[in-house]
């Protein structure tokens, strides 16, 4: 149901369903934005692969993220080419830069590295934000571009994206309910993955096609074309402005409270101020041309005094985040909040003293502020790591933890409790950042040996803390592995030559009766099976799990739950008997490698 919007009066006329309209929209989008549609196809295919995969596939994740980044980047270059009047090969060559950005992202992303969550994902998210800002400003970077055209262009993008999202959601829900009904009524036993496939198609291809089909064909708009849809006008007057006003009223009341009590603000207030400020700026941008129309007095007051109201809140933000940094040092989160505060201050000063009120300054300045925050010698991660290493060194020097050689002592268990907790916190942080190498010179064992990258960040940090005798006493976690996926209903096990079968559901805390004629149970240590075939008087066979315990622990620490086929079967020979164990599910205690519970089947020959 793709609707062509012909007037910015926004009387959205929704045509009847037409197969030809679908094909026409897709064909036009591919012809005008081939690079973006190619990236959308890559995103959709990767998402389908992730839904179909039984385990995490890092290559598919890289393709998904790279393709997603390539979509807005390609659209921005296409809009720039159209504004410049480029046609033919020049138009498509400029779009191809978006594909090159996706290729670069694919090779720069490495999910298996220890800094994946701590550094790579934040950097990727910032790149995604900049790519969307690029779409917003790319056709209007020249001085001759009218601010009114810039606003109208972005209003159209926002409206079409919102309408496309609503269409996609409604169609997805409708088709999902239809699939569920067919599946239940006709006993087809379709996999639940079909809903994931449908979501991928709607999010990847339908939404992108809808958006690009309605993408503005020109960047200069007549006054007759400009205007506010009634729904947007009402949202601005009666929803956005009152809610933002209420938020700032709450913050001003809190500011009065801390002044009366003469107390520093709580640290989390900085994030609250930042969130409300962003919401306020978004509302300011949407309302930018609303004063030209008959509106309530509140909208006029909002547009006139918003930046004056925001200025004291920026001061509150700096005081709050400054307190957190002073107490606990710099982290990427605190860096971003402080950095955003500086950006808010610059934007606020610009709109208070500039007579131009050029709203293009907001996205352009935001992109310019975001880049050095994630790339360069003073980015969030470099500054945060230096700050936390400095805190760590200060704690160790205060407690005389360094030997004369500059290496740390082997046993730091006598550190005060407060310092122990700070050291643990910093070590975990450095591990998540993939930055344990910054303190590698304090240990006689190379960090690559002590805490190899093959371990998850938590385990790497634990290795360092255990060496210093600073690990926290904790209950060992129970790891879980299963030989089947949620979609499997049967197994295939080679049992040729075996004559007896035992179905197992064993627990270490539930031993068998001593008078049972035959029994199979877990040993008290949880490291072996004990089998007695001919009653209590017969000699029991003990089947040790051996190295398989460590292999199960390694797989369990990956948190993927699925046991590889090679680890689900064990074989033993004891005298004239042969045993084959097929493990369906196993619960294993971390570190002690004790099997707490086991389900499966034992075959005896």
Compute the Cα dihedral for 163, 169, 174, 175 and give only its sign. positive
The 10s digit of each residue's pLDDT in 227-266 is: 777 788 888 888 888 999 898 898 899 888 888 877 767 6
Q: How many structural domains does the chain have? A: 4
pLDDT of residue 516: 52
Q: What is the residue-averaged pLDDT of the chain?
A: 86
Q: Could you give the count of Cα atoms lying within 13 Å of 92 in the half-sphere of its Cβ?
A: 8
User: Do both 314 and 255 map to the same domain?
Assistant: yes
Contact 191, 179 (CB under 8 A): no
Both 241 and 173 in one domain: the answer is no
pLDDT score recorded for residue 106: 96
Token digits for 234?
A: 């009402």
Q: Is the dihedral of CA 198, 199, 205, 209 positive or negative?
A: positive
Has residue 363 been placed in a domain?
yes
Distance from C-alpha of 195 to C-alpha of 411, rounded to nearest angstrom: 54
pLDDT at 526 > cutoff 90: no
Weakest-pLDDT range from 303-317, 400-414, 474-488, 500-514: 474-488
Where in the sequence is the domain holding 196, given as residue range(s)?
Answer: 19-213
Residue 7 lies in a domain: no
* pLDDT, mean of residues 500-525: 73
Q: Which residue has the tokens 């006054």?
A: 223
Q: Is 13 part of any domain?
A: no
507 with 424, same domain: the answer is no
- Output the pTM of the full model: 0.75
Of 326, 349, 374, the one marking the end of a domain is 374
Compute CA distances 384 → 125, 245, 299, 430, 521, whole Å: 18, 35, 41, 9, 52
Q: Domain end: 321, 348, 374, which one?
A: 374
**How far is residue 105's CA from residue 372's CA, in Å, rounded to a whole number?**
18
Mean predicted confidence (pLDDT) in 194-210: 94
Convert 112-132 to b/e letters by CB count within 10 Å (16 or more is b). Answer: eebbbebbbebbbebbbebbb
Three-class secondary structure of residue 561 per DSSP: coil
Return the number of other C-beta atoms located less than 10 Å from residue 77's C-beta. 27
Q: How confident is the model at residue 395 (pLDDT cuts 50, 70, 90)?
A: very high
| Range 202-209 average pLDDT | 94
Say how far apart CA 87 and CA 32 lie, in whole Å: 10
On whether both 391 and 423 belong to a single domain, the answer is yes
CB atoms within 10 A of CB 380: 24
- Both structure tokens of 571: 């074989």
pLDDT in tens, 422-475: 999 999 999 999 999 999 999 988 998 888 887 888 888 988 998 888 876 544
Mean pLDDT of 90-99: 92
In a domain, 153, yes or no: yes
pLDDT interval class at 566 (50, 70, 90): confident
What percent of the chain lies above the pLDDT cut of 70? 90
HSE-up of residue 258 (Cα within 13 Å, Cβ side):
14
Final residue before a domain boundary, out of 314, 345, 374: 374
Mark whether 57 and 176 lie in a shared domain.
Answer: yes
Q: Does some domain include residue 476?
A: no
Place of tokens 């239809």: 178
Cα(45)–Cα(67) distance, integer angstroms: 10
CA distance 578 to 565: 20
Do 582 and 528 lie in one domain? The reply is yes
* 129 shares its domain with 254: no
Same domain, 34 and 157: yes
Q: Are residues 88 and 165 in the same domain?
A: yes
Show Cβ contacts of residue 366 under 8 Å, excluding neighbours closer than 6 positions. 133, 343
Select from 15, 118, 570, 192 the least CA-distant residue to 381: 118
Would the pLDDT of 498 be above 90? no
303-312, 484-493, 530-539: which has the highest mean pLDDT?
Answer: 303-312
135: in domain: yes
Average pLDDT over residues 382-394: 95
Q: Tell me whether residue 223 is in a domain.
A: no
Grade residue 8 by pLDDT with cuts at 50, 70 and 90.
Answer: very low
Instruction: Answer yes or no: is 473 within a domain.
Output: no
**Same domain? 417 vs 335:** no
HEC string of 471-503 equals: CCCCCCCEEEEECCCCCCCCCCCCCCCCCEEEE
Nearest to 336 by CA among 370, 311, 298: 370
Cβ-in-10-Å burial (0-12, 13-18, 19+) of 426 comes to buried
Do both 513 and 463 map to the same domain?
Answer: no
Give the pLDDT score at 11. Answer: 42
Same domain, 459 and 521: no
């Amino acid at each position: 149901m793709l609707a062509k919007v012909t007037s910015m009066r926004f009387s959205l006329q929704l045509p009847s369903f037409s197969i030809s309209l679908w094909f026409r929209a897709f064909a036009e989008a591919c012809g005008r934005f081939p690079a973006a549609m190619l990236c959308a196809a890559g995103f959709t295919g990767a998402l389908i692969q992730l839904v179909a995969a039984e385990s995490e596939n890092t290559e598919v994740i890289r393709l998904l993220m790279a393709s997603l980044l390539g979509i807005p980047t390609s659209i921005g270059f296409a809009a720039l080419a159209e504004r410049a009047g480029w046609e033919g090969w020049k138009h498509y060559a400029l779009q191809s830069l978006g594909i090159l950005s996706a290729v670069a992202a694919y090779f720069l992303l490495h999910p298996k590295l220890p800094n994946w969550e701590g550094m790579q994902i934040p950097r990727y998210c910032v790149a995604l934000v900049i790519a969307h800002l690029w779409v917003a400003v790319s056709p209007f970077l020249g001085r001759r571009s009218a601010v009114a055209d810039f606003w109208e262009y972005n209003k159209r993008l926002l409206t079409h994206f919102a309408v496309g999202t609503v269409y996609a959601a409604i169609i997805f829900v409708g088709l999902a309910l239809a699939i569920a009904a067919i599946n239940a009524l006709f006993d087809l036993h379709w996999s639940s993955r079909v809903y994931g496939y449908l979501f991928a198609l709607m999010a990847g291809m339908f939404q992108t096609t809808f958006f690009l089909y309605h993408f503005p064909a020109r960047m200069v708009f007549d006054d007759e074309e400009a205007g506010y849809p009634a729904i947007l006008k009402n949202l601005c007057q009666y929803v956005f402005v009152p809610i933002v006003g209420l938020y700032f009223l709450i913050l001003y009341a809190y500011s009065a409270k801390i002044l009366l009590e003469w107390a520093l603000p709580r640290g989390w207030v900085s994030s609250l101020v930042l969130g409300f400020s962003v919401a306020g700026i978004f509302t300011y941008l949407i309302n930018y041309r609303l004063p030209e129309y008959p509106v309530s007095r509140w909208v006029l007051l909002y547009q006139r005094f918003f930046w004056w109201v925001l200025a004291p809140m920026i001061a509150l933000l700096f005081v709050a985040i400054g307190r957190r940094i002073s107490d606990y040092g710099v982290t990427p989160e605190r860096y971003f909040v402080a950095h955003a505060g500086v950006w808010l201050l610059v934007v606020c000063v610009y709109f208070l003293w500039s007579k131009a009120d050029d709203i293009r300054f907001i996205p352009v300045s935001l992109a310019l502020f975001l880049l050095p925050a994630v790339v360069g010698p003073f980015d969030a991660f470099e500054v945060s790591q230096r700050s936390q290493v400095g805190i760590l060194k200060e704690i160790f020097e205060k407690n005389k933890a360094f030997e004369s050689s500059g290496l740390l002592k082997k046993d730091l268990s006598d550190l005060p409790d407060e310092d122990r907790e700070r050291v643990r916190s910093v070590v975990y942080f450095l591990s998540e950042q993939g930055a344990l190498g910054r303190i590698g010179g304090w240990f006689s064992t190379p960090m690559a040996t002590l805490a190899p990258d093959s371990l998850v960040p938590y385990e790497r940090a634990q290795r360092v803390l255990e060496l210093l005798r600073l690990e926290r006493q904790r209950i060992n976690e129970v790891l879980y592995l299963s030989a089947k996926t949620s979609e499997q209903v049967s197994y295939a096990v080679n049992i040729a030559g075996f004559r007896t079968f035992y179905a197992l559901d064993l627990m270490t805390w539930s031993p068998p009766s001593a008078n049972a004629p035959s029994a199979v149970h877990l040993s008290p240590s949880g490291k072996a099976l004990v089998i007695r075939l001919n009653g209590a008087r017969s000699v029991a066979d003990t089947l040790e799990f051996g190295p398989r315990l460590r292999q199960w622990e390694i797989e369990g620490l990956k948190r993927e739950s699925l046991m590889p086929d090679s680890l689900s079967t064990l074989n033993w020979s004891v005298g004239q008997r042969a045993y084959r164990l097929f493990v369906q599910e196993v619960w294993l205690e971390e570190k002690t490698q004790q099997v707490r519970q086991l389900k499966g089947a034992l075959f005896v020959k």
